[in-house]
Structure 1
Amino acid sequence: MAFAVAVTDECVRVWSRAAGEQASVREDRRYTPSLYAAAPEDVLTTLRERLAVDPKVADTGFERRFTSLRADDRDRVLRVDCERPDELRTLAREVRCVHEPDRWAPGTVRLYDVDLDPTARYCLTTGTSPVPEADLRSLSLSLPTAALADGDPTELCCDGQRLAETRPADEGAVLRALARRLAARDPDVLVLSSADLVPLLHDWADALGVDCHLGREAGYRRLAGANTYQSYGRVGHSPARYSVPGRAIVDRSNSFLWSEAGLPGLLDLVERSWLPLQALSRSSIGTVFTAIQIREARSRDVLVPWRAREPEAFKPARTLHDADRGGFTFEPDVGFHEDVVEVDFASLYPRIMCEYNLSPETVRCDCHDGDDVPGLGYSVCEDAGFVPSVLAPILDDRADLKATLAEADPDGEAHERLAARSDALKWILVTCFGYQGYRNSKFGRIECHEAINAYAREILLDAKRRLEAGGWRVLHGIVDSLWITPRVADPTPVADLTAAISEAVGIPLEHEDDFAWAAFVPQQTGRGGSLTSYVGKVADGERFKIRGLAARRRSTCDFVASAQRDLLRSLETVTATRRPSVTASVASWPDWSEAPSTPRTS
């Protein structure tokens, strides 16, 4: 059971530590990673003859594996073992760009297990668990951004404490103090403010002749260089990645999961995905979800495609029109409302996938012609689906964690660990739906994405009908949440209605919040209400729930955010003195509408 795995061309080094013992390393020099090729028999025979003389190839052989989630039988595939791990992708590109175009039509050869993380591939192939056996020891190192840019290590802090005792500080004294801290703690995990600390500290140590190594052995290795990227219209910077012998590195500046879930959450996901800690800490949520899927696929003997090969099935124009829609939303009743209740479905989309067995291989299956998906006419196979088998344990475990959290001491250490694990699983559940429609998803399909949305729309409409029949009026609803207010003097209790709806649809509808008042604001253009902007005063405290307003946005300056919050507090003071007379709108806010809620599809 390892906490650090390093894959190089020479060997694989696996570091582990039992409770109460020193860390030890095991070397594996016989490991040869494999990719797989599927094609007609004569093509595979010729391809094997060509690859046998390639110096990058250690061995080849034929095996029988499933090449698709939909496959009923195993196909005969060609296994190609590479001499060195770093050359596996090079070999795959040669097959795709040299061997295939030379003899066969494009797409004749399909490649599998090409772009897996090298450390995860090793763990899955050899059965080496990356889950630490003992509790990990960690050490935090940070350096202010300006000092890092100047290459000045004298401001280095260890666990939040500045190492230098004087100003100006001596670089050698700082490095010697760091060496003593490393020797005393002997950490398994280094939590760095930036991975650029690795070359900076090693270069200074070499220049000054100080015996200071961040790893358990001398030296470090650069895994990838720095680069810039664009995501959702924003340009970001990804720093270089490094590894040191015998310790896992967590780069706080490049780890969303660390900031959201901490070490307990990361370790929970390590156990589910078998991505080693360092690789997982720098991965995106989608990458971690894919790794969990890959582990499940391996357990089913299903190969992982290099390129997604699930084309969209033919549909008539009417089906395209009905299917190409997102979640259901209602036109918000713009204005100021009192006695508002918010209810929402817990993990709606992942629970839909599990409740209705929605998976790429089950939607529009070949085993029967059915009209299972509401409004679309898609059939859904009754055999247990791949995606539900991945999500069901995560949903169950998060529900158990939330139940345990409710009983735990809020100030205790156990509560913090449980919350971190729950948050890690939350992000996986947030991501899983979108990946069904993502063009590069390893195990995704657009029809599955459409079916999930179709069920979600029907569920929200059904909930609206039941709530209105119980004496409530829907002020707003979006995807999985509804805001309601009493329509009659004595409506059916919310608890009774949520229980009935939960039983009817098979997905828990939870009572999220009670508001003394809530305001749904108009769009800046004045054309109807804003779907995602509202503010509410929670009934049992001083807390405001703000969504979409300037005070909530990171781009808002402190002055504007503070002014808006002051205005909200003033509004609460006024309404508190006038209750229950304030029931309609606030005159100073423009374009309040009294129109009833009407559905809108986004």
Structure 2
Amino acid sequence: MIKEYHFPSRYELITDTNRSQVLELELKDSTYSLKLAKKIERMGRFGQFRLYNIDILSEQSYFYEHDIFPLMECKVDVSNSKLNWMGNEDNVWSTEYELPLFNNINLKVYPKVKEGKIPRFTDSIASVTIQNCDTKDTINIQGSEIDILYQLVKQIEKINPDFILTEDGDSFTFPYLKYRSEINQVDLILDREGIPLRRSEKDGISYFSYGKIYFKPSAAKLFGRIHIDTYNSFVLNESGLQGLYELARICRLPLHTASRASIGKCMSSLQFYNAMRNDILIPWKPTLAEHPKSLGDLLTADRGGLIFEPTMGVHENVAELDFVSLYPTIMFKKNISAETVICNCCSHSKLRVPELLNYHICEKRRGIVPISLEILLKKRAIYKNKKNSTANPELKKIYDARQTALKWVLVTSFGYLGFNNAKFGRIDAHIAVCAFDRQILLQTIRIAESHGFKILHAIVDSIWIQKKDTINNDYESLKTEIENKTGFPISLEGTYKWIVFVPSKNNTILPVSNRYFGVFEDGTVKMRGIEARRHDTAEFFSNVQQGILNIMSEANSIKEVRD
């Protein structure tokens, strides 16, 4: 099982300032790493053996160790049965990288099932369609079931696709095809290695999230091809293939894995890469505990973001200003990470956290979290600028898809600081970000008031303001002063013709911070928290409310709405 062993010098914990000598085992087969780790753990008492770099995919480790990434343009030299990568032609920071001309298809399988019935594995195949993603040319395969299976194998071999996209390939299509091929004794070869389609060795998992229970099926993999289940790919649904390519490159995840990975997993992979490049071991199980606090300290520290309750009612000519990626930008600019907040090396640091007397930030080193966020923040800003400056509609779509994918990773970066299963998370870093946010938003409110604006509402990273007889220059000068004094970029989301902040359903004298609707000057409707926006509203009621809002959006004032 063990091929070689070494005794390298590494940082055992992310908080360590000195290296430790550790035992490194190189396995003959990397798939046995988890099995071996569990065996070692059982050999001693709890905590006697501390294990690292266990649950990282071998493909990811290979990317990290050789400093390469998916879709990288490079030269490969083979010597002594080893690959030598020369990637001077490409860089992960590149925004104008050239991609291969992929041949992608959509695959759909139709079982013989009565209308209204749920398809089962025991239902025979009625037909299969293969559609080219670019040309939309479609091949319909019909006939007896055994003929359909043989024709499917033949067409896949002829088309030779790089990507096979399905709508339920992980949960139904591929397991179903595998079952039907076994019944008909057909070797169903859909990959490039000539290996018949296999059943997944792992079962799917169920998990609870935001009040709902979800099922994530195990992935159906093809050798030499990428299978993407569009029902099981958040990244693809939000940003398309261009967004997937961008995330796979930056986070150094195999395309197959990146398409199914949660956004948090993408962020973690980027952190793992930076940790390994800095000789920091990645713990098998999270080990960093929260710093001890008194009850008084906890009440002072754990307060979240600042919320200025909205002024209930209907308001005209209201402007909304939003900070651009405020939380990740705070983490990047203020060097906030698990190892830098209340570090062991800089107890007298001049970098303090506002309101929290016992919180300081390391002056001697850059944290893994801000190091990882740098490329996300800077590349997203570049893509947004490119999107706004180009007149080419195709390029505009590509840049928008890529910046959207990066935006979702940035959105999750803050939550991962306090996530109990995050390898490099710590609640103290999470608390520090909230403290800086409160300071920045309070400072923004005071600046707006000094310009004569009335504050109607403010929440975490957004502010709604109102002032009579304003012109665009008033907003621009306010925006400039906020950016200069806070040091964080802010954008004018737009000016509302009218906006409504609604009361609580339980108590009509109380406002609700995240429930409002309004219409921008360009006619765009924005709503939060109301029925048409919620996923638990019946479609009929959602459509009715949306229709009413569309009619109201044509009015330019409260008077016109009432009339």
Q: Scaled by the length of structure 2, what TM-score is found?
A: 0.86
Look up the match of 1:438: 419
Instruction: Summarize the Cα distance change of 1:272–1:469 in structure 2 as closer, same or farther, 3 Å threshold.
Output: same
What secondary structure, in the 3-state scheme, does the structure 1 residue paired with 2:17 have? coil
Q: Does 1:255 align with 2:233?
A: yes
Q: Does 1:139 align with 2:105?
A: yes
Tell me the amino acid that sits aligned with residue 54 of structure 2. V
Answer whether contact 1:470 1:491 (CA < 8 A) is retained.
no
Deviation readout 1:251-309 (Å, 9 max, x if unpaired): 22211111112221111111112211111111111111000000111111111011112
What secondary structure, in the 3-state scheme, does the structure 2 residue paired with 1:496 have? helix
Look up the match of 1:178: 152
- Structure 1 residue 203, shift from structure 2 partner: 4.3
Distance 1:425 1:490 in 2: 34
What secondary structure, in the 3-state scheme, does the structure 1 residue paired with 2:501 have? strand
Distance 2:268 2:387 in 1: 28
Instruction: Summarize the Cα distance change of 1:199–1:561 in structure 2 as closer, same or farther, 3 Å threshold.
Output: closer
What secondary structure, in the 3-state scheme, does the structure 2 residue paired with 1:245 have? coil
Distance 1:86 1:325 in 2: 44
- Structure 1 residue 395, shift from structure 2 partner: 0.4
* Structure 1 residues 80-99: aligned runs within 5 Å: 80-96=25-41, 98-99=42-43
- Structure 1 residue 109, shift from structure 2 partner: 2.3
Distance 1:92 1:229 in 2: 25
Instruction: Summarize the Cα distance change of 1:489–1:178 in structure 2 as closer, same or farther, 3 Å threshold.
Output: closer
Q: Which moved more, 1:297-306 or 1:368-377?
A: 368-377
Q: Which runs of 5+ in 1 are unaligned?
A: 1-55, 588-602
What secondary structure, in the 3-state scheme, does the structure 2 residue paired with 1:241 have? coil
Look up the match of 1:100: 44
Deviation readout 1:63-83 (Å, 9 max, x if unpaired): 211112222221011112333
Instruction: Summarize the Cα distance change of 1:219–1:132 in structure 2 as closer, same or farther, 3 Å threshold.
Output: farther
* Structure 1 residues 151-190: aligned runs within 5 Å: 151-159=123-131, 163-164=139-140, 169-190=143-164
- Out of 487, 501, 505, the position equivalent to 1:520 is 501
Tell me the amino acid that sits aligned with residue 533 of structure 1. R
Tell me the amino acid that sits aligned with residue 193 of structure 1. E
Answer whether contact 2:239 2:404 (CA < 8 A) is retained.
yes
What secondary structure, in the 3-state scheme, does the structure 2 residue paired with 1:111 have? coil
Q: Which moved more, 1:152-161 or 1:187-196?
A: 152-161
Instruction: Summarize the Cα distance change of 1:161–1:209 in structure 2 as closer, same or farther, 3 Å threshold.
Output: farther
Distance 1:522 1:75 in 2: 58
Deviation readout 1:528-554 (Å, 9 max, x if unpaired): 11211111111123x211111101122
Deviation readout 1:446-489 (Å, 9 max, x if unpaired): 11111100000110011001001101111111110111111677
Deviation readout 1:232-260 (Å, 9 max, x if unpaired): 33111122322222112212221111111
Distance 1:484 1:144 in 2: 55
Could you tell me the percent identity over the aligned residues? 32
- Structure 1 residue 135, shift from structure 2 partner: 3.5
Instruction: Summarize the Cα distance change of 1:414–1:575 in structure 2 as closer, same or farther, 3 Å threshold.
Output: closer
Instruction: Summarize the Cα distance change of 1:86–1:450 in structure 2 as closer, same or farther, 3 Å threshold.
Output: same
- Structure 1 residue 130, shift from structure 2 partner: 3.1
Q: Which moved more, 1:77-86 or 1:152-161?
A: 152-161
- Out of 491, 498, 501, the position equivalent to 1:510 is 491
Answer whether contact 1:155 1:163 (CA < 8 A) is retained.
no
- Structure 1 residue 123, shift from structure 2 partner: 3.2
Q: Which moved more, 1:475-484 or 1:131-140?
A: 131-140
Deviation readout 1:201-228 (Å, 9 max, x if unpaired): 3444455466752101231342522232
- Structure 1 residue 137, shift from structure 2 partner: 2.4
Answer whether contact 1:471 1:491 (CA < 8 A) is retained.
no
Tell me the amino acid that sits aligned with residue 122 of structure 1. Y
Distance 2:175 2:553 in 1: 54
- Out of 112, 116, 135, the position equivalent to 2:56 is 116
Tell me the amino acid that sits aligned with residue 77 of structure 1. V
What secondary structure, in the 3-state scheme, does the structure 1 residue paired with 2:362 have? coil
Distance 1:126 1:397 in 2: 23
Distance 2:121 2:314 in 1: 50
Q: Scaled by the length of structure 1, what TM-score is found?
A: 0.80
Distance 1:497 1:443 in 2: 38
Q: Which moved more, 1:132-141 or 1:106-115?
A: 132-141
Deviation readout 1:85-105 (Å, 9 max, x if unpaired): 232112211222x2112xxxx
Answer whether contact 1:267 1:277 (CA < 8 A) is retained.
yes
Instruction: Summarize the Cα distance change of 1:60–1:551 in structure 2 as closer, same or farther, 3 Å threshold.
Output: same
Look up the match of 1:69: 14
Deviation readout 1:362-420 (Å, 9 max, x if unpaired): 1112323246110012111223222111111110100010111112347x322222221
Q: Which moved more, 1:239-248 or 1:300-309?
A: 239-248
- Structure 1 residue 139, shift from structure 2 partner: 1.6
Instruction: Summarize the Cα distance change of 1:380–1:165 in structure 2 as closer, same or farther, 3 Å threshold.
Output: closer
Deviation readout 1:20-75 (Å, 9 max, x if unpaired): xxxxxxxxxxxxxxxxxxxxxxxxxxxxxxxxxxxx43333322111122222210
- Out of 465, 478, 492, the position equivalent to 1:484 is 465
Q: Does 1:458 align with 2:439?
A: yes
Tell me the amino acid that sits aligned with residue 368 of structure 1. S
What secondary structure, in the 3-state scheme, does the structure 2 residue paired with 1:567 have? helix
Look up the match of 1:548: 529
Tell me the amino acid that sits aligned with residue 374 of structure 1. P
What secondary structure, in the 3-state scheme, does the structure 2 residue paired with 1:80 have? strand
Look up the match of 2:76: none
Instruction: Summarize the Cα distance change of 1:187–1:148 in structure 2 as closer, same or farther, 3 Å threshold.
Output: farther
Look up the match of 1:44: none
Answer whether contact 1:224 1:242 (CA < 8 A) is retained.
no
Distance 1:202 1:481 in 2: 51
Deviation readout 1:123-174 (Å, 9 max, x if unpaired): 33455643354343222213469446654433433227774466xx533443
- Out of 208, 213, 218, the position equivalent to 2:195 is 218
Q: Does 1:394 align with 2:376?
A: yes
* Structure 1 residues 412-451: aligned runs within 5 Å: 412-451=393-432
Instruction: Summarize the Cα distance change of 1:413–1:57 in structure 2 as closer, same or farther, 3 Å threshold.
Output: same
Tell me the amino acid that sits aligned with residue 200 of structure 1. Y
Q: Does 1:58 align with 2:6?
A: no
Distance 2:150 2:472 in 1: 71
Q: Does 1:243 align with 2:209?
A: no
Q: Which moved more, 1:178-187 or 1:58-67?
A: 178-187
Distance 2:558 2:356 in 1: 52
Q: Which moved more, 1:138-147 or 1:522-531?
A: 138-147
CA RMSD of aligned residues (A): 2.6
- Structure 1 residue 107, shift from structure 2 partner: 2.0
Instruction: Summarize the Cα distance change of 1:108–1:150 in structure 2 as closer, same or farther, 3 Å threshold.
Output: same
Q: Which runs of 5+ in 2 are unaligned?
A: 74-99, 112-117
Instruction: Summarize the Cα distance change of 1:199–1:354 in structure 2 as closer, same or farther, 3 Å threshold.
Output: same
- Structure 1 residue 116, shift from structure 2 partner: 0.9
What secondary structure, in the 3-state scheme, does the structure 2 residue paired with 1:116 have? coil
Distance 1:226 1:456 in 2: 39
Distance 1:275 1:202 in 2: 27
